[in-house]
Amino acid sequence: MESLGINPQAILISAVGFLILMTVLVKFAFGPLFKMLEARQTHIQGNIDEAQARRDEMVRLQHDYEDRLAKIEDEARDKIQAAVRDAQAARDEILAKAKADSEVIVERARQEIEQEKRKALIEMRDQVAELAIGAASRVVKTNLDGANHARLIDDVIAGLGTAESSTRLTNGSAN
C-alpha cells in the first residue's frame, strides 16, 4: 500500500478522527439539532391539527347556523301564512257582516216604502172621497144646466188646489 502512496497509519488515524468527530457531532450537534427539528415538526403538526380542529368547528357552526336560519325562515313563512289566513277570515267576516247589514237596511227601506205607499193610498182615497162628496153636494145644491155644469167643474178644479194645499199642511204638521 505504501507503494501506491497510501499510508495505512494515516488512513487509520483519519478514520478514528472521523469517528470521534462524528460521535461528537452526533452527541453535541446533530442530537440537539434533531431534537430541535423534531420539536419544530411537533409544533407545526400541532398547529396543523389545531387549524383542522378549528376548521371542523367552523364547518359545524356554519351547518348549525344554516339549520337555524332555515328554521327561522320556516317559522316566518308559517307566521306570514297564518297572518294571511287570519286576514282572509277577518275580510270574509267583515264582508258577511256588511252583507247582512245591507240586507237589513234594504228590508227596512222596503218596509218604509210599503208603509209610505199605504199612507199615500189612504190619503188619496180620502181626498178622492172628499172630492166626490164635495162634487156630489154641489150637484145636489144646484140644478145642472150647461152653464152651471161648467161653473161646477171650474169650482171643483179650483177646490182641488186648495184641498191639496190644506192636505199638505196637515200632513207636514203631523210629520
Task: 108-114: list long-range contacts, CB under 8 Å, 24+ apart.
Answer: none
Contact indicator for 117, 161 with CB cutoff of 8 Å: no
Q: What pLDDT score was predicted for residue 26?
A: 82
Task: 59-66: list long-range contacts, CB under 8 Å, 24+ apart.
Answer: none
Longest CA–CA separation in the chain, Å: 197
pTM of the model: 0.40
Q: Residue 143: what are its φ and ψ, rounded to 5°?
A: -80, 145
Cα(135)–Cα(95) distance, rounded to whole angstroms? 58
pLDDT digits 0-9 by tens, 111-138: 999 999 999 988 888 787 777 777 777 7
Size of the chain in residues:
175
Q: What pLDDT score was predicted for residue 167?
A: 53
Q: What pLDDT score was predicted for residue 135?
A: 74
Q: What pLDDT score was predicted for residue 173?
A: 46
The x, y and z cell numbers of residue 62, run together, are 356554519
Break the chain into its structural domains and give their ranges: 2-141
Q: What pLDDT score was predicted for residue 170?
A: 52
Contact indicator for 163, 135 with CB cutoff of 8 Å: no
> pLDDT averaged over the chain?
84
